[in-house]
Amino acid sequence: MSGRRVLPTAPARRGWCPGLARPMPTGDGLLARIHPPLGLLNPEQMRAVAKAAGAFGNGHLDVTARANLQVRGVRPETQGALAEALTVIGLGDSRGDGGPQRLTLTSPLCGLDAGALIDGHAVAAGIEALGRAVAPLPAKTLVAVEAGGACDLAGIEADIHVRARALGRAAIGLATGAEPVWLGAWPEGALPEAVADLLRAFARTGARRMRDLTDAERAALASPRNGESRAEEATLQDKARVPSPVRERDRVRVENVPERAEPPHRRDLSVEFSSLTPARSRTGEGACRGSHPCSDARPSPAEGGRQRQPFAILAVDAPFGRCTADMLARLADAADEAGASDIRLSPSRGFVLAVDPARAETARARLAAEFVTDPEDPRRAVAACPGAPACASGSTPTLRDAARLAEAFRPFAARGLSAHVSGCAKGCAEPRRSALTLVAADGLYGAVPGGTAGDPPVEWLTIEAALERVRGAQTANLEDLFRTRP
C-alpha cells in the first residue's frame, strides 16, 4: 500500500526541557530527565538510578543525544520521591529558573586521551559554574567542549563551540545555520569567563538558539573581546573559511582525522580511540569489537602530566537509546567487575568505560546480550524515538519498526549512511538529515530520502513496503528507491 498524503501538522513542542523538579507529561506518564555533571556517574550512582527508575517510574529509561538519562513512567505521586532519591546521590537539578540543567557537553573520552590539548573537564566545569548565574538563558543552550586528540564532538549542534587548537589554547565559535563563526583563541584558564561573557550577551537577545541570530546580532555578541589579538583573530577567521570543519584541528593534531567525521551516534568510540595507538588503523582493523586496549597510557600534558595505568576502552550503546533499569544495574556490576571507576554517557546514546585490559572482553561478552557492542551492528546507523505508546505525539511503535529497518539497512550502514525512524514530524531522535528518514503517521510512514522528519515526504507507504524497497536495491541511491518530488 502506498500513496500521496499531506504531511500532518507537526505536533506541538513542549514549552520546557524536563528535569526532576518539573518532569514532562508524555504517553507513558511523566518523563524526568537526569543531567549527570560532566556526563559521569560512578557505578554506585548508576545502581541508584536503576533502583529509582524501577521504584518511581516504569523501569524504562532513555539515553539522550546530549548524554543525559530520562526516567520514563513517573507518576505524580512518585515524582517527589524520585527527585529526592537522585538529589541525595548528587544527581539533582542544578537550577530552578528554567535554564539549562547541564550546559556543556564533552566527549566520553575526555580525560582518557593522552593527546588532549586542554583539560576538557576542567574547562566544562568552569563554564557550568559561571553559566548557572546567567539568566534568562534558554533551556536548550549548549556549549560543546572539544579537548583535542580523540575528544571529538563532530556533528553536535551546539550554540557555542570550544575547540582546542594548541596545547593550552582553544578557539571559541558561535553557531550559525552552517559552520560556526570562529572568534579567536583563548588561553585555557580564560575560556570559562570568555564563554560566560558570550552567554550573558546571548541571553539578552531573547533568542532560543544561537543559530537563530542574524550575522549582525552574532557579531555584536563578541564585541569587545577581552584581550584578544586582532591579528590572531584574522588568522582564525581565514582558517574558519576552509570548508572542512575539522581541517583547522588537523593542523595541530598528531593523528589523522577524517575529512568528514561521522556524527557521534554513528561512530564506534573504541575504534575512535584506537587511532592513538600507531599500530592500529582508524578503520578498526585489529581492534576488538566494542573494546580496545590502550597501549599508549602516557600522561596528558593538558592534565598536568599525571601518569595513568594501562586501560581498555569499552563502548556500548543502548539499542536506539532505550534501556531498562535492570540493564543499568547490570552495566554498573560489569563496570565494578572490570575495574571502571566511572560510567561515561555518550552522545551515541550509550556508555563508555575505561576498564582493566585483562577484563575487557569478559565485560563486553557479559553486556553483549542487551547492549550494542559490535561496531558493525546496523542499529548504530539508525536513530529512532520511543514512538507509541510511550510518546503522546507518536501513533506508531517506531522501535519495533526501527529494528526491522536496521537489518534491511545493513549494506547502507556499511557504506557510512544513516537512517531515522521518527514517530512524528518533530524528529526528536535526530534533528539532522539522514540518508533515509521515515516519519510515522496513522500506521503509514512518510519517506524522506536525504532529509529530516520535518521535511515533506515524497511518498507514504507501509513499513513492509519501505523494507521491501530497501532490501531490493541494496546498492542503489536511496533517493532512487522512492518517488521523487514533483
244 and 280 together in one domain:
no
What pLDDT is recorded for position 473? 74
438 and 413 together in one domain:
yes
What pLDDT is recorded for position 414? 93
Calculate mean pLDDT across residues 442-446. Answer: 93
321 and 292 together in one domain:
yes
Nearest to 408 by CA among 464, 453, 448: 464
384 and 362 together in one domain:
no
Calculate mean pLDDT across residues 465-485. Answer: 79
What pLDDT is recorded for position 478? 77
In which residue are the cell numbers 595505568 written? 309
Nearest to 441 by CA among 427, 458, 460: 460
pLDDT at 206 over 90: yes
Calculate mean pLDDT across residues 240-265. Answer: 33
CB atoms within 10 A of CB 162: 28
Which of 373, 403, 433 is where one domain is finished?
373
323 and 351 together in one domain:
yes
Q: Are 78 and 59 in contact (CB under 8 A)?
A: no
pLDDT at 6 over 90: no
Which of 250, 284, 301 is where one domain is finished?
250
In which residue are the cell numbers 510515522 written? 440
Domain with 293 in it: what CATH number? 3.30.70
Nearest to 235 by CA among 161, 317, 293, 166: 166
pLDDT 10s digits, 400-437: 999 999 999 999 999 999 999 999 999 999 999 999 99
Q: What domain count does the chain have?
A: 3
356 and 441 together in one domain:
no
What pLDDT is recorded for position 300? 52
Q: Is 468 within the bounds of a domain?
A: yes
113 and 234 together in one domain:
yes
190 and 315 together in one domain:
no
Distance CA 462, CA 460 (A): 7
Going by C-beta distance under 8 Å and a sequence separation of 6 or more, which residues neighbour residue 74? 23, 29, 30, 31, 32, 56, 57, 82
pTM above 0.85, yes or no: no
Cell of 155: 556533528
345 and 384 together in one domain:
no
331 and 200 together in one domain:
no
409 and 444 together in one domain:
yes
Distance CA 326, CA 50 (A): 7
pLDDT 10s digits, 118-153: 999 999 999 999 999 998 999 999 999 999 999 889
What pLDDT is recorded for position 378? 97
Structural domain boundaries, residue 470: 379-481
pLDDT at 273 over 50: no
Q: Is 295 within the bounds of a domain?
A: yes
pLDDT 10s digits, 17-73: 899 999 999 999 999 999 999 999 999 999 999 999 999 999 999 999 999 999 999
To the nearest 10°, the Cα dihedral for 226, 232, 236, 238? Answer: 130
